[in-house]
Amino acid sequence: MTKNRILSGVQPSGDLHLGNYLGAIKNFVSLQKDYECFFCVVDLHAITVWQDPKELAQKTREVTAAFIASGIDPNENILFAQSQVPQHSQLAWIFNCVARMGWLNRMTQFKDKAGKDRENVSVGLFSYPNLMAADILIYLATHVPVGEDQKQHLELTRDIAQKFNNDFSTDLFPIPEPLIFGEATRVMSLRDGTKKMSKSDPSDYSRIMLSDNIDSIVQKIKKAKTDPHPLPATKEEAEKRPEALNLITIFAALSDQSTDTVLEQYSGKEFSLFKKDLADLAAEKLQPISKEVTKLMSDQDYLDQIMKTGKDKAIAVAEPVLTKVYDIVGFANT
Ligand code: TYM
């Protein structure tokens, strides 16, 4: 039986944080044995906002290194940089002509990122989800592991696949399923439990980076916002206390336990004690990854070789799909 196919992407637009790890990369690791996997560093997506050209290639290598350091086997999975496989952009153009303005106007991530400055953001930031749909559908991927924040983009991908199939009376594109799972599908800011942990938050104390040393991890968790009460007894109680719930779900995800099990263990205990254990746990899980990233980054040739092999394998799958799309759309094959 052939395996179902996964595609997922991570932007090289800053260092990776705990949200990227728990919401996405950790799940990639657990899925790799059951699926044929394409993991792509989405540098074309990154340039929808300004990126320093002197740093972009290095950041792309760093995300590849983080994939490998987290436990993704580079020989069994296809790891590559999005810009190196031109079929993504070629299909994205076609999807620009399939997706409707009204669909994109509803994207909350665009609204959040553009804020009040809509007239001044790049056109790419607006059409970003069409490129994401192309990333997925150029491989006819059936499943897409992502964090909760990408759910709406996945729904749009499904709409685009459906509309293309309907418009051109074909069944070429599968309707891909999102895989959003684990205890921490939406990791929140350590400073505000109602805001997502993100690269763009101005406060360093809002997020734990994969590259943080033990001291920073301890300091950030110590300073994380909580309330004066001891840990709650039930999930329902925790849900009314977003900062408490966030730290509990982070603990659960890092220790591969359910939130209920963590609550059983810590209910009624003081946050000072819980935070100490959480900091020890986070350091124990993240330090080996950051050490491995540093090691891999010192061997650029190795990383470039992995990405080159990934690119060749990706093109071998993407090219015939694009040829079919061009045929279906009716382009002259000269
Ligand atoms: P990006 O680069 O912002 O994030 C990479 C992955 O990390 C997840 N994530 C989180 N999960 C839980 N809590 C958080 N606070 C958190 N922050 C980020 C994201 O959900 C994502 O899975 N548009 C995508 C990249 C992309 C893509 C694709 C993904 C481009 N093409 C095709 C899947 C398939 C993005 O900006 O992710």
> For every one of its 334 residues, what pLDDT tens digit does the chain have, with 9 covering 90 and above?
568 999 999 999 988 999 999 999 999 999 999 999 999 999 999 999 999 999 999 999 999 999 999 999 999 999 999 999 999 999 999 999 999 999 999 999 999 999 988 999 999 999 999 999 999 999 999 999 999 999 999 999 999 999 999 999 999 999 999 999 999 999 999 999 999 999 989 999 999 999 999 999 999 999 999 999 999 999 999 999 999 999 999 999 999 999 999 999 999 999 999 999 999 999 999 999 999 999 999 999 999 999 999 999 999 999 999 999 999 999 999 9
- Residues within a 6 A CB radius of ligand 1: 7-11, 19-20, 23-24, 42, 45, 132, 135-136, 144, 146-147, 149-150, 153, 185-187, 196-198
* Identical fold between 5-185+299-329 and 204-295: no
Element (H, E) at 41: strand 36-41
> From the alpha carbon of 7, which atom of ligand 1 is closest?
34
Q: DSSP H helical segments within the chain, as ranges?
A: 18-20, 26-31, 43-46, 53-70, 87-96, 101-105, 108-114, 123-137, 151-167, 214-223, 235-239, 242-254, 259-266, 271-297, 300-329
Give the global pTM.
0.97
**What's the angle, vertex CA 140, arms to CA 139 and CA 143, rounded to 5?**
100
CATH class (in words) of the domain with range 204-295: mainly alpha
CATH class (in words) of the domain with range 5-185+299-329: alpha beta
Cα–ligand 1 centroid distance for 10 (angstroms): 6
Cα–ligand 1 centroid distance for 134 (angstroms): 15
Atom 37, ligand 1: which residue's CA is nearest?
Answer: 10
Domain ranges of the chain: 5-185+299-329, 204-295
Q: Rounded to whole angstroms, how far apart are CA atoms 201 and 215?
A: 21
Cα–ligand 1 centroid distance for 232 (angstroms): 30
Q: Is 163 a catalytic residue?
A: no
Q: Is 196 a catalytic residue?
A: yes
